[in-house]
């Protein structure tokens, strides 16, 4: 934890609070006004109670009869103060709540927006669990102290007012106040300092416990099939035990300090009564004044705790804020250019790779040999289909990512219609190219929403046309609610091949001018796969150039050109028959795949594969 010493935490925490106030100044002003109103009324109520006792009750006891007029006046004064106090509490609570939840919502939006802006390379370094906790519990933790903050600020004003009014009343009683209030304040500070490391530890363990749980549920299939249930349970139990211990230590500290914080004001009241009795006998103060001051001490005890609440939440807030700002300040986003490709142009695009080099580590940290791609040069001419073939790990998916600008090359250029993709606007890029990824991703939504993605101009006719091209219209029509069928989280209610065809239809619905298929139909029956590709190549229909990562002979044979890659280099290019005849590695690969394919087909595994949680899919294939 980067939080450092408690002085550091206080400084950083105050800066976080300052930021919150700067972002929501008006709501904060409302909440603080409510709180200050409340504070002043607390002081006023002490004096009214004093007056009631000194000027109504005591004379009544002495005379044996109650003065009706004075009583009515006292009652209405107390009633008026109570009503105004309700207004103050209402304003403070409402303001504090608004401020806290508005900040949470705003920062949740900013964090998730940032996730989408950050490049893929950043996402590779950060786990899903971390992203979830950044957007949820870290944002919440950062703004926790906002809830008691207006109360604490109002209390500070109230304390100053109380001490001032004490001085007006009597200097001896004021000295008691000067001893007790700072002591209360100091006790709160010591309390929160002791609390800081315990809270930070608990917050960290909370994240770890949910991280382990997340992983176990996500990997439920592996855990179950490998018989790791008891080990996983033990791993979870150990961390859950640590969290329990951390929270108990928080509770123990609270158990020590809470009574002290309760007792101190009572001791103060006692001191007031003792000193006050002496001053009363000396004739320096009246009964009214003594009762007022004693009452003031009792009612002040509670609001002073608000300062402690803010201080106690600061360490957690700083820890949360640091994790949130790590996301907001992350660099490396890929700025878009301002060149647009003519949106009216619907003919296929030309994709060019010119001497492209790429490594997943940041370019400055490149070890020799960390380069995943080197000297990659090829073209997908307008309207042509180019197949990308190579052994596993050769860099095919990396080339696909570069083609749609998920990543940028370290050296060299990727071009669309001759324009470097880095110079294109986001809209131009999204409207021109579409990637169907190796691992299909399906949203927990309807079939229709999964395909349209809310894009303009994609109506039901376009959806069905895309489904037809993806050979998916048959199974979608057979679904219980057709396009309105919900497909479950990550498409769990669909087979692997159905999911692949749905994501293909999603890409086609945008009418891309370049389609990049990364092994996108591997779980589809080979005959259907060939039919899809043939359909895409049919003249005048889809009208896209195609870069397809493929293994199957039938699919490859449909390509105009084959590019064979090994270890990040283009080793050979030509037509399928040419490569079969001249490149031994290519022939071996295609033959080996074909054999595996035949075995698979005998076992009839296509499209009936039980859906597997994502992440496993890559291992299940090949
Ligand atoms: N996110 C990543 N971070 C670091 N290295 C990566 C990352 N993704 C891929 N690599 C590495 O880059 C190389 C090329 O990977 P790539 O996924 O492009 O291969 P591929 O040809 O698509 O393989 P497959 O046929 O198995 O899909 C591999 O050595 C791989 O280990
Ligand atoms: Mg791949």
DSSP class per residue in 26-43:
HHHHHHHHHHHHHHHHHH
Work out whether the CA dihedral 55, 60, 62, 65 comes out positive or negative: positive
CA distances from 560 to 351, 383, 388, 557 (A): 14, 10, 11, 8
Is the per-residue pLDDT at 107 higher than 80? yes
Least confident of 383-387, 498-502, 548-552, 603-607: 603-607
Secondary structure letter of residue 201 according to DSSP: H
pLDDT of residue 347: 85
Ligand 1 center–CA 572 separation, angstroms = 20
Structure tokens at 572: 């050979």
**Residue 497 Cβ < 6 Å to ligand 1:** no
Q: What percentage of the chain carries pLDDT values higher than 90?
A: 37
Which of the four pLDDT bands, split at 50, 70 and 90, describes residue 3? very low
Distance CA 326, CA 450 (A): 32
Using an 8 Å Cβ cutoff, are 172 and 91 in contact? no
DSSP state of 609: S
Beta pairing partners, 486: 446
pLDDT at 612: 37
Ligand with an atom nearest the CA of residue 437: 2
Residue 266 tokens, joined: 């009572």
Q: Which residues, including other chains, have CB under 8 Å from residue 284's CB and lie 6 or more apart? A: 170, 172
SS (H, E, C) 455-481: CCCCCHHHHHHHHHHCCCHHHHHCCCC
> Of the given ranges (55-64, 122-131, 326-335, 361-370), which has the lowest mean pLDDT?
361-370
pLDDT score of 621: 33
In this predicted structure, the answer to whether residue 361 has a pLDDT above a threshold of 90 is no
β-strand 514-518 against 373-380: which pairing, if any?
A: unpaired
**Alpha-carbon separation of residue 97 from 27, 101, 147, 182 (angstroms):** 10, 6, 6, 29
Q: Which tens digits make up the pLDDT trace of 155-174? A: 988 888 888 888 888 888 88
Confidence of residue 617 (pLDDT cuts 50, 70, 90): very low
pLDDT for residue 1 is more than 70: no
Question: Which comes out higher in pLDDT, residue 430 or 70?
Answer: 430
Q: What is the pLDDT of residue 351?
A: 96
CA 583 to chain centre: 49
Q: Is 556 exposed, middle or buried (0-12, 13-18, 19+ CB in 10 A)?
A: buried
How many angstroms does the Cα of residue 518 sit away from the middle of ligand 2?
Answer: 7
Ligand 1 atom at minimal distance to the Cα of residue 121: 1
How do 419-420 and 373-380 pair as beta strands?
unpaired
> Is the CB of 398 inside a 6 Å radius of any atom of ligand 1?
yes
CA angle 361, 367, 369 (to 5 degrees): 95
Average pLDDT, the chain: 85
Q: CB of 401 closer than 6 A to ligand 1? A: no
Task: Kindly tell me if the per-residue pLDDT of 607 is higher than 70.
Answer: no
Percentage of residues of the chain with pLDDT beyond 70: 93
Mean pLDDT throughout 512-539? 83
Query: CA–CA separation, 332 vs 11, rounded Å?
Result: 29
The preferred substitution site among 353, 360, 438 for testing ligand 1, maximizing ligand atoms within 8 Å of CB, is: 360
Nearest CA to ligand 1 atom 5: 360
Distance CA 154, CA 164 (A): 15
- For residue range 400-450, list pLDDT tens digits in order: 999 999 889 999 999 999 999 999 998 899 889 999 988 888 888 899 999
Other beta carbons within 10 angstroms of residue 560's beta carbon come to 16
Q: Determine the average pLDDT of the residues in 2-31.
A: 84
Whether 393 is in the pocket of ligand 1, judged by its Cβ within 6 Å, is yes
Stretch 182-197: mean pLDDT: 83
Ligand 1 pocket test: pick from 122, 124, 398 the residue with the most ligand atoms within 8 Å of its Cβ.
Answer: 398
Q: Evaluate the CA torsion angle 103, 106, 111, 112 in order and state its sign.
A: positive
- pLDDT at residue 25 tops 90: yes
| Rounded CA separation 585/612 (Å) | 32
Among 75-89, 184-198, 316-330, name the most confident range. 75-89
Average the pLDDT over 136-163 and give the result: 90
Q: How far is the CA of 395 from the centre of ligand 1 (A)?
A: 6
| Amino acid 123: pLDDT | 83
Q: Which residue is closest in CA terms to ligand 1's atom 18?
A: 395
Mutate to test the pocket of ligand 1, among 362, 372, 389, 621 (most ligand atoms within 8 A of CB): 372
Q: How far is Cα 266 from Cα 260, in angstroms, rounded to an integer?
A: 10
pLDDT at position 368 is 60
Q: Is the CB of 359 under 6 A from ligand 1?
A: no
pLDDT of residue 448: 92
76 within ligand 1 shell (Cβ under 6 A): no
Q: What is the per-residue pLDDT for 342?
A: 76
**In the structure, what pLDDT confidence band is assigned to residue 67 with cuts at 50, 70 and 90?**
confident
What confidence score (pLDDT) does residue 65 get? 77
Q: What is the pLDDT of residues 451-488, one digit of tens each?
A: 999 888 888 999 999 999 899 999 999 988 889 998 87
Phi-psi region of 384 (alpha: psi -120 to 50; beta: other; left: phi over 0): beta
Contact call for residues 189 and 305 (beta carbons, < 8 A) = no
The span from the CA of 528 to the CA of 607, in Å, is 11
Q: For residue 389, how far is its CA from the centre of ligand 2 (angstroms)?
A: 10
The 8-class DSSP code of residue 519 comes to S
CB of 259 closer than 6 angstroms to any ligand 1 atom:
no
Task: pLDDT band for 622, please (50, 70, 90 cuts).
Answer: very low
Q: Residue 99: is its pLDDT beyond 50?
A: yes
pLDDT for 401: 93
**Owner of token pair 């855990």:** 223
Q: Which atom of ligand 1 is nearest to the CA of 398?
A: 18
Cα of 618 from ligand 2 centre, angstroms:
9
Conformation bin of residue 355: beta by default, left when phi > 0, alpha when psi is -120 to 50:
left
pTM of this prediction? Answer: 0.71
Q: Helix, strand or coil for residue 345?
A: coil
Q: How many Å lie between the centroid of ligand 2 and the Cα of residue 483? A: 30
What are the residues whose beta carbons fall under 8 Å from the beta carbon of 533, sequence distance 6 or more?
385, 521, 546, 548, 555, 558
**Residue ID of nearest Cα to ligand 1 atom 29:** 393
pLDDT band at 613 (very low <50, low <70, confident <90, very high): very low
Task: Give the count of alpha carbons within 13 A of 391, CB side only.
Answer: 12
Which ligand sits closest to the CA of 518? 2
- Confidence (pLDDT) at 15: 94
Q: What is the per-residue pLDDT for 109?
A: 95
How far, in Å, from the CA of 606 to the mean position of ligand 2?
Answer: 19
User: 255 vs 185, which has greater pLDDT?
Assistant: 255
Determine contact, residues 500/491, Cβ cutoff 8 Å. Answer: no
Helix crossing, 287-328 with 68-117: angle to 10°?
Answer: 10
What does the alpha-carbon distance between residue 439 and residue 380 come to, in Å, rounded to a whole number?
23
Ligand 1 pocket test, pick from 371, 393, 435 with the greatest ligand atom count within 8 Å of Cβ, gives 393
Q: Judge whether 88 and 8 are in contact, CB under 8 Å.
A: no
- Amino acid 88: pLDDT: 94
Pocket test for ligand 1, best of 120, 369, 397, 400 (most atoms within 8 A of CB): 397
Cβ atoms of 88 and 35 closer than 8 Å: yes
| pLDDT tens for each residue of 220-249 | 878 788 888 888 889 899 999 999 999 999
Q: Is 372 near ligand 1, meaning CB less than 6 Å away?
A: yes
Query: Which pairs from 108-117 meet CB under 8 Å and 24+ separation?
Result: 108/135, 108/136, 108/139, 110/328, 111/135, 111/139, 111/324, 111/327, 111/328, 114/327, 114/328, 114/330, 115/327, 117/333
Give the model's pLDDT for residue 616.
35
């Amino acid at each position: 934890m980067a939080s450092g010493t408690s002085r550091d935490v206080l400084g950083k925490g105050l800066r976080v609070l300052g930021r919150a106030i700067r972002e929501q100044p008006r709501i904060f002003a409302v909440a603080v006004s409510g709180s200050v109103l409340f504070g002043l009324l607390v002081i006023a109520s002490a004096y009214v109670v004093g007056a009631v006792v000194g000027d109504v009750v005591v004379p009544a006891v002495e005379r044996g009869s109650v003065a009706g007029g004075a009583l009515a006046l006292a009652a209405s004064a107390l009633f008026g103060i109570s009503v105004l106090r309700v207004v103050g509490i209402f304003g403070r609570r409402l303001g504090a709540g608004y401020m806290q939840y508005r900040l949470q919502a705003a920062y949740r939006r900013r964090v998730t927006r940032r996730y989408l802006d950050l490049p893929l390379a950043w996402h590779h370094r950060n786990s899903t669990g971390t992203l979830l906790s950044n957007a949820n519990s870290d944002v919440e933790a950062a703004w926790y102290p906002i809830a008691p903050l207006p109360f604490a600020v109002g209390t500070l004003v109230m304390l100053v007012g109380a001490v001032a009014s004490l001085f007006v009343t009597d200097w001896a009683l004021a000295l008691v106040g000067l001893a007790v209030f700072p002591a209360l304040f100091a006790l709160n500070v010591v309390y929160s300092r002791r609390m800081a490391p315990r809270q930070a530890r608990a917050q960290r363990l909370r994240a770890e416990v949910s991280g382990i749980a997340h992983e176990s549920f996500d990997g439920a299939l592996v855990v179950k099939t490998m018989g790791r249930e008891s080990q996983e349970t033990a791993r979870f139990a150990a961390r859950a035990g640590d969290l329990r211990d951390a929270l108990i230590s928080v509770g123990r500290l609270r158990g020590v300090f809470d009574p002290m914080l309760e007792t101190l004001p009572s001791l103060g009241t006692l001191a007031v009564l003792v000193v006050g009795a002496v001053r009363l006998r000396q004739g320096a103060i009246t009964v009214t004044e003594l009762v007022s001051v004693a009452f003031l001490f009792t009612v002040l005890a509670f609001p002073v705790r608000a300062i402690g609440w803010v201080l106690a939440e600061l360490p957690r807030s700083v820890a949360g804020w640091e994790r949130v700002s790590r996301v907001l300040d992350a660099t490396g986003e890929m700025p878009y250019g301002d060149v647009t490709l003519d949106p009216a142009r619907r003919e296929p695009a030309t994709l060019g790779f010119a001497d492209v080099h790429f490594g997943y580590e940041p370019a400055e940290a490149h070890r020799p040999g960390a380069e995943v791609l080197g000297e990659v040069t090829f073209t997908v001419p307008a309207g042509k289909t180019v197949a990308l073939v190579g052994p596993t790990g050769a860099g095919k998916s990396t080339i696909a990512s570069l083609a749609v600008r998920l990543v940028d090359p370290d050296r060299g250029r990727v071009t669309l219609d001759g324009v470097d993709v880095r110079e294109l606007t986001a809209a131009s890029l999204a409207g021109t190219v579409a990637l169907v990824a190796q691992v299909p991703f399906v949203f927990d939504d309807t079939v229709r929403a999964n395909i349209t993605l809310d894009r303009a101009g994609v109506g039901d006719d376009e959806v069905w046309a895309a489904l037809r091209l993806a050979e998916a219209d048959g199974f979608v029509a057979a679904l219980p609610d057709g396009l309105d069928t919900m497909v479950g989280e990550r498409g769990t209610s669909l087979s692997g091949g159905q999911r692949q065809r749905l994501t293909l239809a999603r890409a086609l619905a945008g009418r891309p001018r370049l389609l990049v298929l990364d092994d996108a139909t591997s779980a589809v029956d080979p005959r259907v796969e060939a039919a899809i590709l043939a359909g895409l190549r049919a003249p005048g229909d889809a009208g896209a150039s195609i870069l397809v990562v493929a293994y199957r002979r039938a699919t490859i044979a449909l390509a105009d050109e084959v590019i064979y890659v090994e270890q990040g280099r283009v080793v050979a290019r030509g037509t399928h028959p040419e490569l079969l005849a001249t490149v031994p590695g290519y022939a071996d690969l295609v033959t080996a795949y074909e054999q595996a394919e035949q075995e698979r087909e005998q076992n009839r595994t296509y499209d009936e594969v039980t859906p597997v949680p994502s992440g496993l899919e890559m291992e299940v294939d090949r």
